Every structure is written in C-alpha cells, then in structure tokens.
Amino acid sequence: MARVAVLHNTLDFNGGADAVCLHVCEALQAVHDVTLFTISTTPLAALNRLFGTSADVTVETLPGTGPLAGLLSRIDDWRGPQLAFRSVVLDRWFRRQADAFDLAVSTANEFALPLPSVQYVHFPQFNGHVPGPDGVHDDGVADRVWTRLAGLADRQLPDDAALLANSSYTADHLAARYGRAATVLHPPVDPIPGQPWAERERGVVTVGRIAPDNRTLDAIELVDRVRDRGHDLHLHLVGSAPDAYRSYVDRVEAAVDRRAYVTLEVAVPRERLETLLGRHRYGVNPKRGEHFGMALAEYVAAGMVPFAHDSGGQRDVVEGADDRLYGTVEEAADLLAAAVETDARPRLPPDRFAVDRFHDRVRAVVARQLDEAAATG
C-alpha cells in the first residue's frame, strides 16, 4: 500500500472534472492510503450524492480555504474561473508536504511536481499562448504569470509524470504545448437504466452547471426553434447554480419563467437526474469546445439520442457522427427536428464509458508508476 496524494484545485464547481476526482479517489482508496488536497468548501458527502460515488479519503484543505473560496467565487462571477491561480496556490502548498507521499495523482491538469505522478488532463491549464489544433486559447498576461509561477514556462513536464487525457482533443492540445503524448482515458459514466423507447417522453434534457460557458440559454433557444416547427417538445435544465455565475443564473431563471415548457432543477439528487435521463429521448450539450462532455456521455449511457456542438472532445463521445454534431443553434434545430420526424434511435452502447473500466485503468497506471519509481529510486 502506497501513500498517494490526489491533487484537485477546487471541487466547488461540481463539474465533470470533479466527478473524475471523486472516481479516482474511489478507485485508489481500497489499495492505497489516499489523501486529497484541495482548495474547496464542498464536502465529499455532497459530491458523492451528486456523482453517485463513494469516495471516503482523508481531505486536506488549505488553511483559510473558506474565506479564499468565497472571495474567488465573487471574482469568478465577472472574471471567469480562476483555475490556474488555484492550481498555483495548491502546488505551492502541497510541495511543503510532498515528502510524505510516494506518488501524486493530479485530477486538475498538469503540474511540475517534485515526485512521481499521474496527471489527468481535462485541458492544459498553463502555456495557453501556445497554438493548438484550433488556435490559441489564452494569450493573456495572467496565463504567462501563472505558467511561470507553476514552473512550466520552459514547457517541460516532469519525466516521471504519466499523462492521461480525457479526449483525443485534449491530448492534441497537450502535445502541442509540451511535446508529450498522453494516453486517452475517457471519464467514467456507467449505464443508466431507462424506459423502453416507446414509453419515453418526447423531451430534451440538458445537464450541467448553469453557466455562460455551458451556454444554457442556447438549449432554451434550440427547443424554442423546434417547437416553432410544430414539434411539442419540452426541456429540462438540470445542474448546479454556483454563486460564481449568479448573474447568468438570473438570466436563465428569467427565461424559464417565461416558458411553461421549460423546467429548471438545481442541486438534484443523483436518483432524480437518472430518472429524467431514463424517461426522455433527447439530450443536448450546447457547450462549445467541451474538453470531453460528461453530460453528453451520460445521454449515451441512458440510451438517449445525444446532440452536441461540433467542437472539442464531444466528437469522441458521439464518434464524429454528422447527424449528432452542429455548428449553430439553427443547425441544431434542424438535426433535432429531423430526429423527431424520423423517430431516430440511439446507436451507441450504454456501457461505452463504464466506471469499472475507468477504475481498473487508473489503478493500473498508478501501479506502473509506483513500480517504475521503485526501480529507479
């Protein structure tokens, strides 16, 4: 049994990266002594309920996390997520305790860690000025500052770091920034029980944080357009409503209040989410440049017909299908209306991203890194 530190900058956004963190903890806790380092206020119990996990590990939080998280939440509302800053703070704090561990597992992207590591990259968080397959993602002063403070201005990741990426899209960006190949390991999503197709409601479900980058309002516009074509669809918006996006949440709530066929549910238990997915036919993920698309993968797992913006790692989830990927909301309306009119059925297996498969791969990669560290140490 090894001493393993899991690093995750914040669990307070309740998104797909946080689900991966909880699953990594769950995968490793039975075979290793695991400690989670994070700058978060959300308790594991709440996250376990949200993600359907059973993570039960020691949690270390930075002293003063409560006030710091509250301050960052207010800044996030007008400046966007300060994830790179959080990661730099986490890195500096963890380094003081790194000698107590045999291995570190980052579930919050790349780090220049002083010990052997496994680094799961949802999307590279530093060196954003380096062009990737679809251009530059962050050429701002802040990116260069955080990159330098993270010790990655030379674009050299540690040789003893095993790199995992959530999609081929992310792996391509990682290679462009650091010249390193990553193994693609899609995030875990178990099959979700659902009703027979004929008994499912002709409705749409959109899951995810109510946030500008998730384009929640696009989902409402999409259903508006399909209804204008004579199809009696309704929409369920399901997700968290973080204080960091309060102003956008207010706009979404106002739009929902004006439409009897749109329902907004926040902080729902896992059972309720799975019930909604298993009862409906269509799932839509409006976010652009999604690094993977956990919600989209859940639509597949629930036996729904999934639709997503034609960008990012979402292409992996639907295997690049032209009739499931769109460029504009109008194109999305065309695809969804066609699916309704032709009674299109799901084509992908629900167990495509099975949790057991993910857990086994994580344990295997960690074991290999520990063996290599022992052989060279």
Amino acid symbol at 200? R
The pLDDT, as a whole number, for residue 78 is 45
Distances (CA, A) of 280 to 218, 225, 240, 262, 361: 19, 19, 20, 14, 32
Q: Rounded to two decimals, what is the model's pTM?
A: 0.86
Q: Provide CB contacts within 8 A for 236, sequence distance 6+.
A: 203, 204, 205, 206, 262, 263, 265, 276, 280
Structural domain boundaries in the chain:
3-188+354-376, 197-342
**Which residues on neighbouring strands pair with residue 58, listed in sequence order?**
35
pLDDT < 50: residue spans in the chain: 76-78, 80
- The three-class DSSP label of residue 196 is coil
Which DSSP helix (H) or strand (E) runs through 38? strand 33-38
Q: What is the DSSP letter of 195?
A: -
Domain 3-188+354-376 fold is Rossmann fold (3.40.50)
- The three-class DSSP label of residue 168 is helix
Residue 111, classified by CB atoms within 10 Å of its CB into exposed (0-12), middle (13-18) or buried (19+), is: buried
Contact 310, 331 (CB under 8 A): no
The pLDDT, as a whole number, for residue 131 is 94
Assigned superfamily of 197-342: Glycogen Phosphorylase B; (3.40.50.2000)
Is-same-fold flag (3-188+354-376; 197-342)? yes
Q: What is the pLDDT of residues 78-117, one digit of tens each?
A: 454 578 999 999 999 999 999 999 999 999 999 999 999 9
Which DSSP helix (H) or strand (E) runs through 255? helix 246-257
| SS3 letters across 54-83 | CCCCEEEECCCHHHHHHHHHHHHHHHCCCH
Q: What is the pLDDT of residues 349-375, one digit of tens each?
A: 999 999 999 999 999 999 999 999 999
